[in-house]
Structure 1
Amino acid sequence: MNSALWPPPPTRPLPRLYVAPQSTVPRRIDGAWWPRTFDLLTELPQLLSGLPESWGQIDSVLVNSALWTGAPGRLLVRNHVVRLHSTASAHAPNTVVLMASGQGRRDLLVVPPEATEQAAASLMSAAGLPAEQSFLMS
């Protein structure tokens, strides 16, 4: 029997995510996400794993096809099938729409991966999110 110690598996970085506080006032944007790439197959599982439990289990995701690569029809995330949809619509091109049965729709502003922290703060402010809030960073 080999008693050599195996190194621990690499940990995935936490998603750079800001979720607006719950409010009774409807808002257009529910938070902001700053992915590290525009590779949906890499980034989406990390995002979905980092969302608040109160948002429910995300069943469907809508992204802008002009931004994202790797958008198949379905993706298995933590033993749950998530349907992926894409649009080329100019309506809200820098957002990702998350839908959960019984919980409704959540829209996240997508900060481009190459953005600086200052640019990310400016985008959040322009979207009506508190720019002084920092993203959860790993």
Structure 2
Amino acid sequence: MTTALQPPLPSHPVLRLRLAPRSDLPRSIDGAWWPRSYDLLVELPRLLAGLPREWGHITSVTVNGAVWSTVPGRILVSNQVVRLHGALAANAPHTVVLLAPGLGRWDLVVVPPDTTDDDAEPLMAAAAGAPRGRLPRTP
């Protein structure tokens, strides 16, 4: 009898992030992030660790304070302080805004954690290719 070897499970869940292609043209949405929960203290370090290096060190993050379970004033991520802001943005309740001084601002659509795979995939694809001024609708 032979047994098939199972690949080891990753020690950290795979980051569910899709970014728009690089462009010199300004974009209103730079991609989509699909966290596994609304626990910012768990999810944010994973997101920041998975961002492109050219985005630099993110020092400030703004999320919808009504959606995320915890919005402390600051969090230590990889020995760097990141300031957290909770806002009630009626026009973009499912976004996260990332700031890196001198490098830029990036806005990501947040796909709700409880979204099914079938529903999340088109949302992420649309956000990564969304034309300026258009946001994909989240469930």
Corresponding position: 1:48 with 2:23? no
TM (normalized to structure 2)?
0.81
1:13 equivalent in structure 2: 13
- Deviations 1:84-117 (CA, angstroms, capped at 9, x unpaired): 0011120211000000011110000100111112
Equivalent position SS for 2:129: coil
Deviation at 1:55, TM superposition (A): 0.6
Equivalent position SS for 2:112: coil
Q: Is the 8 A contact 1:60 1:82 kept in 2?
A: yes
Q: In structure 2, list runs of 5 or more residues that go unmatched.
A: 1-9, 131-139
TM (normalized to structure 1)?
0.81
Task: Measure the CA separation in 1 of the matches of 2:62 and 2:25.
Answer: 24
2:87 equivalent in structure 1: 87
1:116 equivalent in structure 2: 116
Task: Measure the CA separation in 2 of the matches of 1:79 and 1:127.
Answer: 31
Q: Is the 8 A contact 1:34 1:113 kept in 2?
A: yes
- Deviations 1:51-72 (CA, angstroms, capped at 9, x unpaired): 0001110000000011101110
Task: Measure the CA separation in 2 of the matches of 1:82 and 1:29.
Answer: 21
Structure 1, 91-100 or 11-20: larger mean CA deviation: 11-20
Q: Counterpart amino acid of 2:59?
A: D
Q: Counterpart amino acid of 2:43?
A: E
Q: Counterpart amino acid of 2:49?
A: S
RMSD across aligned C-alpha pairs, in angstroms? 1.7
Q: In structure 1, list runs of 5 or more residues that go unmatched.
A: 1-9, 131-138
Task: Give the fraction of aligned pairs with identical amino acids, expressed as a percent.
Answer: 59
Q: Is the 8 A contact 2:21 2:128 kept in 1?
A: no
- Deviations 1:9-42 (CA, angstroms, capped at 9, x unpaired): x822231111111011211110100000011001
Q: Is the 8 A contact 2:64 2:89 kept in 1?
A: yes
1:76 equivalent in structure 2: 76
Task: Measure the CA separation in 1 of the matches of 2:14 and 2:81.
Answer: 21
Deviation at 1:125, TM superposition (A): 5.0
Deviation at 1:128, TM superposition (A): 6.2
Corresponding position: 1:61 with 2:61? yes
Aligned residue-pair number: 121
Equivalent position SS for 2:84: strand
